[in-house]
Structure formats: structure tokens, C-alpha cells
Amino acid sequence: MEINRFNEDAKNYDRYRPQYCPALFQTILKTASLKPFDSVLEIGIGTGQASLPFLSQNVLLTALEPGNQLAALTRDKFRNFFNLFVYEQTFEQARLAESSFDLIYSATAFHWIKPDLAFPKAYRLLKPGKTLALFWNVPTPAKNEPKLAEAIQQLYSRYRPNNRPKPAGLAYGYAKDAMEKAGFIDCQCCCFESQRKFSAEEYIHLLNTYSDHRAMPSDTKTAFEQELREILERWEKPLIVYDTIELYTGKKDC
């Protein structure tokens, strides 16, 4: 499965994948009204980029992660927390008690699950009146540097036609409709902005944490990365990646 490629380089995934801004977590915590020892489910924990703000609230965090290397790194990373329980399972496989969680959330992972399974199952697992929070990062490299952005886009057009389309509007807007269809109420969407800086080598390391990039034929991948490296080195400044984090929340009806 393409999703298993995330598991191939857990250390770089942990190092180069984005963290999420404090305002995002503050919004979720306020919406969910969490208390210590509440039951929380994280779907697709990866290496825990979105976990610490919840663990720090002393909730009981059950986390699902099908990648064994990612799961092992996460267990070690948070080994001093008594309240984290990581299971090497997909959301589809997991047998969890219905109406048992005070919050279910997923960080840039929920799109891997078929919507007609994902949203109804999340609804069933939540306690009445409790919150589902889904968020995704949408990165745009060199958004305010048109010459560099065009050079990168042309490179993709030559090596990967029809890939890396420029996002228009909300990339994950389907989530709000799918929530409402599954029975969630008070469904909301909001966005947060941040940015990151990368050297040429750092950006290529980041790309290698994406499954579609890792799936490129070896010769094509090597040539693509070399040309990208040359473009970024000629730029002589760090590459700025502009992140838009889309957050969708909804509540199970009482």
C-alpha cells in the first residue's frame, strides 16, 4: 500500500514533517472542553507531531499507527508519558468500543480512509455531544516568489505531468459535508497560516517523506532531485514553504 511508504524512513518523517501551530490546538481544546483522564483517540499518529498538546492535558490518548517503525519511534519519543497507548493498527482494523471517546482527532491522515467508512465509524465511537477534529496541512513552496515557483512547477510538469496542482480554495472541503452527512452537528472550518524555511538538501529530505515521491522510479527520482537541487542552490536563499492548516470540527448529536 502507498501509505506504508511513510514507514520507510521514520526518523526523517519526524524531523521534516511540519509541526502544527499553537492556535490550532487551542481551538480544538476549547471546542472539545477536555478534562484530565478524558478518553481521546488519535488516528494515524505517525511520529507524534500533533500529540504533545493533548498528552500535556493528561488525557488518556489511544493512538492508531499501522507503521511499525513510526509506532516504535513514537513510543520512545513519549516514553515518559503514562497516558499514551499506541496500537499498530489502521482505523479500519481497530475494534474500539462505541460511544467511548471524548475527542477523536486526526492530523493529515484521515484522507487515507474511505469517507463512507471513516465518518460514520468516528461518529459511533464518540460519546454523545463530543468532538471530531480533523486537520490537514496544505504546503505551497515559494508562494511569494513567482520565478522560483514557476521553475519548480515546470520541473514537476516535465517529470511528473499533472502532478502538484496548485490548490484552489479549501483542499479538504469535502470533510465538512461528509461530517454533516454522517450526522455531526455544529460543523465548522477554520484555517491557520505558518511558514517554514529549507535548504535544498532539507527540502529534498522533506519530499522523501511523501509516499508519492518515494514511489517514483529510481532513475527518474534521482534526476528530478538533482535538477531541483540545482534550482534551489541557484536561488541562494532558503526556500520558504507556506503552510495552510485546515481544521474541521463537528460534534456528535446528543
Run means of pLDDT, 10 residues per run, the chain, 254 residues: 51 68 97 97 95 97 95 95 97 97 97 96 98 95 93 89 60 95 98 94 89 86 95 94 96 95
> Which is it for the CA torsion 86, 117, 3, 151, positive or negative?
negative
Closest CA to 140 of 250, 239, 215, 54: 239
Of 79, 77, 75, the C-alpha closest to 67 is 75
* Alpha-carbon span 90 to 65, nearest angstrom: 6
**What domains are defined for the chain?**
2-138+166-195+244-251 (3.40.50.150)
pLDDT for the residue 1? 43
List all residues 6 or more positions away from 92 whose beta carbon is below 8 Å from its beta carbon: 113, 117
Q: Could you give the 3-state DSSP secondary structure of residue 40? A: strand
What's the whole-model pTM score? 0.89
Residue type, 171: A
Q: Which residue, 96, 103, 91, 40, is CA-closest to 66?
A: 91
Closest among 184, 4, 214, 212 to 90, alpha carbons compared: 4
Q: How far apart are CA 8 and CA 4, in angstroms?
A: 7
